[in-house]
Structure 1
Amino acid sequence: MDVDALSATQKEALAQLQAIMDGGDADVAVSVLESVDWDVQRAANLIFENGIPPPKPRAPSPTAHIEEFDIDDSAQGLLGNNSRGGREFRRVHASSSPGVLSARPLRAVLAVLTLPLRLLTSVLRFIFRILRIPFPQFVPFTWSSLQYRPLGPGSGADGRALDPRAQAERWVRALEEETGAVCVGRAGARRAEAKAGSTASGADVAGTSSLTSRAGEYGDDGGEGVAKLLPDFFLGSYEEFVKMCERGAKVGCVVLVSEEHDDVPEFKRSTLTDPTLIKIIQDNDILVWGGDIRDKEAWSAAQKLQATTYPFVAFIALQQRRLGSSGSAPANVLTILSRHQGPSIPSTSAPTAAQTLTTHLTEQLLPRVTPFLTKVRAQASERDRERQLRAEQDRAFEESRRRDKERIEQRQNEERHAQQEQRRRAEAEARAQEEARAQEAAQRAWDAHRMEWRKYLRRQLVMREPRPGETGRGKTMRVGFRMPDGRRSVRFFGESDTVTSLYAYVDSMFAPKEVPDKADPVVPPGNGAPGEVGLLKEIEGSGRAPEKWWAFKLWLAYPRKEVVWEPSKRLGDVEALRGGGQLIVELVADAESAKAKGKQRASDVPAGEDEDDDGYETED
């Protein structure tokens, strides 16, 4: 190839590439530069990193559809003087951004500044290849990260392979990982899952503790412990987002960022996680869409919104188009209400600071557009009501037209309905029987579980009676018991014995006589904690009140006063039992047991006679 035939710019690019290559064949350098549109940076990357240059951007076809917006910059001071003295809307066409046009000089400057680093990198790569050692990549600070990367949809190799929804989900997840925050909707879903999980764990498993599940509702997995939140980003393409704003007559917020700008990380951490801004967005039902301009959808949105500086925030909504020269009725058109671009620091005056956006929304944008959008939504609701009214009228007409036919078929319908009703009653009875069997099975399981604890308490917590002259357990107390079935019993306790031992003794009297105490277990059911600590955990984990778990209460005969069960409390500290006394055992009705047994429970059935009963009855 004739080098003299090249232009001055092409010759300069060739000289730079040959300097980077330390010489080399001019024809090879020219062919590489031609493949990358004479971009020295991309050509150097292609040579030293054995990469494939991204394809050249194709000019849009003349017939391609490009979405158009009206720009409402009345509140931004961007309009010049006009003869009408009012707001002026101008059409925005998708075109090359000024920031992109100014990238070529910046690209050349960066190429010169990074030349020593590229030379050092090439030498190190050559040495590592000779020694057959993989060249280390210091992520995220690599030599390639210091080089300028052209912006646009072709800059990301994986971005072209993902659909718009996948790109949006990937960007949102990366945003959550970078900021440590969670989207509002996802946090609410986690709280609902945590609450549902805690409810199921406490309702389906008999004997397990429900305290852990309730505490877990406010843990990190439940969502209540999340320190920061993000807006609910719309997951889809930019075109779908725009149509959603248009159909729902809602305000839309477009967030565009570029990792090439140093102001983006602070914008993500401060503005996008600001609680006040998020609350305003949620309260006013503002749709939010965002992305990185390295992705195709975000790049297309940046071109349509004419974004030149990042981070970039734009608010869009339906507005009424001004009357044209023909005097036709005004139509609603999607309009760019305001654009904010630049750093988010300082937090009180920066263009994209949370306080700036909040003030703009509450004092300017929302008061200006909310009445119109409310009117648009009201008109849409009115149209829906009219359509429903017409549909109801059509149904009424069809109903009257079928009335004669229904009279003829009335008898057949009545017979069919009677059969269906009979079938429904049979199904309802079957379901009721199934529920009754399930309740009976649950009650039997509880009775078996309760009997295991009753035998364990009889062996481990029922204290033996003090021997005559024994003083190790304090003063001896004589306590008499009258059981619900009329049985009476007298037993001696020590003042240092606990109220739990008193209740355990009464509870052991409900055990069937055919169950010997020699077979009582020495460890609590379920291998729980031994002694009174394990009993307390069992009562708390069952989800029942203590009197429901014991299924009885102890009352002093005269004066009538209840002896309430309290863990670890000494009998000598119970004022009603000082010096002994006569106690009456009254059963506590179990609502679940009564519902399962229904009318089969009789108050005169002795304890332990019915297999499905706890062996308890209520004394009237």
Structure 2
Amino acid sequence: MSSDALTDAQQAALAQYTAVTNQDAAAATALLRRCQWNVEIAITRFFDGEPAVDPVAEAQAQEAAARAAQREQLRNAANRTSTSTSTSTSSSSADLTPAPRVVPQPPAAARRPNGVFTLILLPFSIAWRLTSGVAYLFSTLFPFLPRLLSNFYSPLHRRPGGASSSSSATTRRALSPRDTASRFIREFEEENGVTGLPWFEGGYAAALDLAKQELKFLLVVLLSPEHDDTAAYCRETLANPDVVKFVKDRDIVLWGGSVADSEAYQVSTALQCTKFPFAALITHTPQASATAMSVVTRIVGLTPPQTFVQKLTAAIAAHSDALTAVRTRRAAEAADRSIRDEQNRAYEASLARDAERARVRRAEEAARAKAEMEEKEALAAAEREERRLAAWRRWRGKSLKSEPAAGGDTCRIALVMGDGTRVVRRFTVSDTIEDVYAFVDTVGVTVDDGEAADEDPELLEGYEHEYGFRLVSNMPRRVYDAEEDKTVGERFGRSVALIVEPVGEEGDDDEEDEEEE
């Protein structure tokens, strides 16, 4: 690829990379392309070497293979389902009824009239309370009359097909959808003695969403407690072992409700229920739309269990292939997402490893530079200390008194130096012990170095000299400190033999013992 075919960002990355590595453009372009044009990763791999297996290339190869397998699987599934669904798609989609999503609304709180209307309605309220009290007293004295009147008026309020009027939905206390479902299941099992049905313990909207999300069939059962066929329908059809086994084996979401409850009544209205008992099978219908939930079959009235199972079986068989195709497509999409996630994780792991190697390399370089800097500073400090020591010796050598003549108030001191040589020097009796130390420290020092002496004032500023030796007498052993206040005459008399002993050798303990004595 020529440089003209690269984008501005890629050319900038190539220029930055070649400026650091000085690699030829062709090889640099190939390495940058393998590193997704990440300059930092490319530089790291140039110096550290490329890994044996590129995680990005490996993930891309796995993704390509998986996609090819998924395309083949989808092609086979489409070939299997196209022949079975092509002839019935147009007719079945026309027969499908959309399944609405019903969410029950909480009852609105009654608004109390203001003060003016309260005064206007006060006589009617008093009359109503008196009438209610008289009716309650009358019903208490003649308890058979309310039941007789209810039996007389109940046929007048029945809906077509045996359904009760909407007033029955207001006779029960309103609960949440989950509590309403639990109450229905409990009453169903207590009144009919039927157990084992996998009722969905939640609202109709939650059951519909579950069936839509997991591509399952939803069986909605609506019952009317006032219908004559309800008890027989529950005991003979719903409680039949074949029906229970069919619902469990097909993993059908089973939701039921009584139209005496507000939610079930709203569902019956939305599903256009005209006769009870009522059952509707709902599922996802991709032939209608990508998100459609439709009623695929209705079972109305008292139905034998064999017929009930046959109708459900036929409806499930007619729409299973479409759901299988959707499941296959969703599985392929999930596999694609998983592969992309795995590729991203592999790429991020590669970036993290390269970043970690770069960080370790930078840390090692920083530590090496710091060590070199410290070594240079230590050498410079040692060299300056040697220069300051030499300057002090020149200065101290100049300040020493010249050796006095023999006789008079002098002290002859014989010194055995550290290298074994013997030096004899006379001092006046008024000289200090420090003068002897200074003489020993400046033996062999040239004090007339004019070029070096020019730097002495600057070098000696703030300098504190410490002697690296001590003067010791042999018999008996005694250490003489340079900081003693006594003079040479007071300490040594007329003559003495001393040994120059480096500091740190054996004899420190003896010196401390002598001083304690």
TM-score (norm 2): 0.40
Higher relative contact order (CA 8 A, sep 6+): 2
More helix by share: 2
Bigger Cα Rg? 2
